[in-house]
Amino acid sequence: MQPQVTGESVGNSRVGRLRQWLQGRRVGAFLITNLINIKYLTGFSGSSGYVLATGTSAGTSGCYFFTDFRYKEQSASEISSCDIVITKHDPIKFIIKFIEDKKIKKLAIEDTLCLRSYKMLSKRFALEALTDAVENIRMDKDEDELRHIKTAIQRAQTALLDIKPRIRVGVTERAIASMLENGLKAQGVEKLPFEIIVASGKYSSMPHARPTDKALEKGDLLIIDWGGESGGYFSDMTRTFLIGGGNDLGRKKEIYDIVLKANVRARESIKAGQSASDVDRAARAVIKDAGFAQYFGHSTGHGVGVEVHEKPYIAAVNKRQKIAENMVFTIEPGIYIPELGGVRIEDMVCVNGQAAQTITNLSRNLEIL
């Protein structure tokens, strides 16, 4: 069973915002094929569907959802924002005929449309490929979305706190990941946002290492990157621990303190209207000034919602993206030194008014297990 996007905001308000945006584009309609965007707009959680949205002045009923017989009952129970149309045979051929009957000549499509469908549509209509049209709307989280994200955070945090007493020397990375996954499911998580990352010792210098059968050893840095889910919305956070004993503890504590300072500096720097690249720069400057710039190679953060990685991207190259109220994204600076290990501290924030509220609340102080 797929987790469903639920709440009063699913449907008319989201479709209405999209149609209002389309009105100024002077296109007859917009065909949406990305199932994640379709779920966001309509609440449909099945595996086959299309949405055709028209501008508010297009002279049609506004929005149509196409699916086949398999999802007739499911779509009727999940969708209130669109007229539901059950297709026959090839859905794209059916939709082409439907659009032609509406006298629509110019059609917008998502730039992720598959090549076969593009070729079929381009023979009948003047096409305009739109980039991130729905994704841009998704950045503005409503109250219902934020409630689910906060629940996803709480489920994830509780799951980690429940298993933390069992993290000790001799326990394997794979065992920790398994315990955490079971804990997330016990909290009500229906779908993991991503494969849990548990990386210890020298493996912690790899930002996206997969859990192995390596057992925890004294002096290991231990990175755990995990997330929760609620109502089809996700959370994403990282904490780094230090296993007591061993060598190089002083240097490991040093890089932890630097990453923590970068995390705090970036979160405190967030203001509505500033560039996403400015937030990235705030974190990166701390690490650069400490002499570890070459060991921080990924961006500072990313949006989280119906996808665990979505807009906005908090990156040095993202100078045009402006931070705005109701955006939710991560702040996750890190330092990764081959053979020594890595540190990442990841929190989630929501832009509230002119500043940002941190909505993850696990301790950020270095814990020695």
Yes or no: domain 12-138 corresponds to CATH 1.20.1300.10: no
Backbone angles phi, psi at 97, to 5 degrees: -60, -40
Which CATH architecture describes the domain 143-368? Alpha-Beta Complex (3.90)
Q: 355 and 326 in contact (C-beta within 8 Å)?
A: no
In the three-class reduction of DSSP (H, G, I as helix; E, B as strand; rest coil), residue 19 is classed as helix
State pLDDT tens for residues 261-270: 999 999 999 9
Q: Residue 56: its pLDDT value, please?
A: 58
Domain boundaries, the chain: 12-138, 143-368
Collect all residues with Cβ–Cβ distance below 8 Å to 283 and sequence separation of at least 6: 262, 263, 265, 266, 300, 331, 333
Backbone angles phi, psi at 358, to 5 degrees: -80, 120
Q: Residue 59: its pLDDT value, please?
A: 46
Q: 355 and 271 in contact (C-beta within 8 Å)?
A: yes
Q: Residue 225: its pLDDT value, please?
A: 98
pLDDT (mean) for 64-71: 96
Collect all residues with Cβ–Cβ distance below 8 Å to 158 and sequence separation of at least 6: 183, 187
In the three-class reduction of DSSP (H, G, I as helix; E, B as strand; rest coil), residue 93 is classed as helix
In the three-class reduction of DSSP (H, G, I as helix; E, B as strand; rest coil), residue 130 is classed as strand
Q: 126 and 299 in contact (C-beta within 8 Å)?
A: no
Would the CA dihedral through 115, 117, 121, 123 be positive or negative?
positive
Rounded to whole angstroms, the Cα distance separating 238 from 227 reads 9
In the three-class reduction of DSSP (H, G, I as helix; E, B as strand; rest coil), residue 73 is classed as helix
Residues of the chain with pLDDT > 90, as a percent, come to 86
